[in-house]
Structure 1
Amino acid sequence: MHVDAQSVAQFIKAKAIALGFDACGIARAEKLNEEESHLKVWLSKGYHAGMMWMNRNSELRVDPRLLFEGTRSIVVVLKNYAPAHYPFADRKYKIARYAMGNDYHRVVKKQLLALLDEIQQAFGKQIRGRCFVDSAPVLERVWAHRAGLGWIGKNSLLLNRHLGSYFFIGEIFLDIELAYDKPINSLCGTCTYCIDACPTGAIVAPMMVDANRCISYQTIENKSEIDEPVRNKLKGWIFGCDICQEVCPWNFRVKPHQEPAFEILPALRDLTDNQIENLTEETYNSVFARSPVKRAKYPKLVHNIRTNQKFFH
């Protein structure tokens, strides 16, 4: 069955929305020459901190055709996670908004696989595809930008004019030619709210974040003690950090997500500052069982809490 690239692209986008995604765009799979230069500069300055895997497989990161042989098109989806109410806004300790509900890897991956199945059912099982959600050497924000879904903000996050930056990104690599979307120019203008608001100065230049100074990196990816320059500037964050997103004007009027799986977990919603300060392993296991917070093991989360306690005034 022959169907033109434009029709298939329109089908994919319509199905993506029907399956629960909030936006969908498509980019041509090709080597990312300009982005490769940016990545090399970032790595050469040591801004990847302890994320040594960023140094590995760099050739796969900049050429998706090496990651999944035969890739010709990259379907990119956005999945809103903005909560209707953020329960930690007025509390001493804070957890990033993306970790309020069920682990997004499973939720988004399941919907991506359903979308791939829809494509194969409609246009033939011979179509090959592979799904990714924050779990492979894929420059997700770059592909989302190329797929016309937004622009890279000065805090290095993808910004969408309707969704702000509170969303997950997923991809399907496909071995078929499709109609492609055009990248969007930055709409940040002269705004520097994110740069100015970062308490640790982690945004060292527009679109250049030093993970060594980033609270999100220090409270999640850094498996050892939080680095000295950051310890007294955590501002109560014990898992992740939303400061540069909270001040972004593009996030001021975003609509809350409509995904039941991302509803705030009751045990997490009801977690008190006192419970956090006296967190037992039993409470940790029961409260965070289905949350991305489990990425930070119990000893790490306790360390984050204790480090915050030392510097509360």
Structure 2
Amino acid sequence: MFDNPSRYAQIIKAEAKRLGFMSCGISRAGFLEEEAPRLENWLAKNMHGEMQYMENHFDKRLDPTKLVEGSKSVISLLLNYFPQETQREDSYKISKYAYGTDYHFVIKDKLKELLQFMKNEIGDIDGRAFVDSAPVLDKAWAAKSGLGWIGKNSNLLTKQVGSFYFIAELIVDLELETDSAVTDHCGNCTACIDACPTQAIVEPYKVDGSKCISYFTIELKEELPGSLKGQFDDWMFGCDICQDVCPWNKFSKPHNEPLFNPHPELLEIDKKAWQELTKETFDEIFQKSAVKRTKFEGLKRNLRFLEE
């Protein structure tokens, strides 16, 4: 039993594809040696701002065997969210990942199905699913699994695909054939660094989270700093600038996940309608969306900041 790592990897990848995942890569579970000093340095410089949770479980972030006892493999998966249609030009903007149903629910269900498939096909496997909801360095694992490289904007980038996808993991106590990391293809390009209105990409491959528009519009709970007025480029929830300007995203193709389709009204609303947003409309449009994370009051705060 459990004696065919190569065949297991093949059937897992085939099932992941059937479930709608864009790609699947596998790496050996163990301590992320290269990431440790980077994470320590990033935290020491307070680049996480008020995201205190980033300081928690330092050891677990770097070693999945501390998250899942006896774990041997990290299965990384990508799920496309690039939309067919985007918001109208004269609108305040929300990040494309939040257009449809909250990705946590969509991906969690797919991961549960994949894990159940593995148990049915292979045997008694112990494992856990992770979707941006536990101390897992998902981009580092996806890069280690050959699904792309971490670009200058600190996002995972993939040739022919870009970066508009979610990353998720299954950490399991099953020995699997692993994949090799790919090389960096950012070259001399600095499009993301040049385009960031708040200079959050402080140097290639390093983002100061506490300067990012996404941080201000989603994570920060207090009033937004007046010194940044006029720098948000009409983003009211999240920000896609460093992805929109990335040359690799010219290859992005629309997703085929119905749950990620936006509420029709989201694509129709202009700035004036956003300014008059009521709690009822907010609840209707964002009923199952990740935008609910900032709550109605948080979105109104962001809109006030953009209007002034």
Unpaired stretches in structure 1, ≥5 consecutive residues: none
Q: Aligned partner of 2:147: which letter?
A: L
Q: Aligned partner of 1:94: which letter?
A: K
CA distance in 1, matches of 2:148, 2:184: 8
The 5-angstrom pairing of residues 148-227 of structure 1 reads 148-227=146-225
**Are 1:14 and 2:30 matched, yes or no?**
no
Partner of 2:139: 141
- CA shift at 1:226, angstroms? 1.6
**Are 1:238 and 2:240 matched, yes or no?**
no
1:5-35, CA deviations, whole angstroms, 9 ceiling, x for partnerless residues?
0000011111100111010000110101110
- CA shift at 1:227, angstroms? 2.7
Partner of 2:116: 117
Tell whether the 8 Å contact from 2:2 to 2:174 is kept in structure 1 after alignment: no
The 5-angstrom pairing of residues 1-313 of structure 1 reads 1-88=1-88, 90-124=89-123, 126-310=124-308
Q: Aligned partner of 2:95: which letter?
A: A
Query: Structure 2-normalised TM-score?
Result: 0.98
1:19-70, CA deviations, whole angstroms, 9 ceiling, x for partnerless residues?
1101000011010111010001111111000001111111110011101111
CA distance in 1, matches of 2:41, 2:29: 23
Unpaired stretches in structure 2, ≥5 consecutive residues: none
Q: Aligned partner of 2:37: which letter?
A: S
What is the aligned-residue identity percentage? 47
Tell whether the 8 Å contact from 1:22 to 1:80 is kept in structure 2 after alignment: yes
- CA shift at 1:213, angstroms? 1.2
Tell whether the 8 Å contact from 2:215 to 2:238 is kept in structure 1 after alignment: yes
Tell whether the 8 Å contact from 2:2 to 2:175 is kept in structure 1 after alignment: no
Corresponding residue pairs, total: 308
- CA shift at 1:249, angstroms? 0.3
- CA shift at 1:2, angstroms? 4.6
Tell whether the 8 Å contact from 1:60 to 1:137 is kept in structure 2 after alignment: yes
Q: Aligned partner of 2:278: which letter?
A: T
Higher mean displacement: 270-279 or 243-252? 270-279
Query: Structure 1-normalised TM-score?
Result: 0.96
Q: Aligned partner of 2:210: which letter?
A: N
Question: RMSD of the TM alignment (CA)?
Answer: 1.1
Q: Aligned partner of 1:45: which letter?
A: K
Q: Aligned partner of 1:69: which letter?
A: E
Higher mean displacement: 56-65 or 270-279? 270-279
CA distance in 2, matches of 1:276, 1:180: 48
1:256-290, CA deviations, whole angstroms, 9 ceiling, x for partnerless residues?
11111111222322323222111111111111111
CA distance in 2, matches of 1:295, 1:148: 31
SS at match of 1:296: helix
- CA shift at 1:228, angstroms? 3.6
Higher mean displacement: 295-304 or 261-270? 261-270
CA distance in 2, matches of 1:233, 1:67: 39
SS at match of 2:181: coil
SS at match of 1:33: coil
CA distance in 1, matches of 2:228, 2:189: 25
Tell whether the 8 Å contact from 1:81 to 1:166 is kept in structure 2 after alignment: yes
SS at match of 2:26: strand
Higher mean displacement: 274-283 or 34-43? 274-283
Tell whether the 8 Å contact from 2:29 to 2:73 is kept in structure 1 after alignment: yes
- CA shift at 1:253, angstroms? 2.2
- CA shift at 1:3, angstroms? 4.1
CA distance in 1, matches of 2:62, 2:196: 29
Tell whether the 8 Å contact from 2:91 to 2:269 is kept in structure 1 after alignment: no
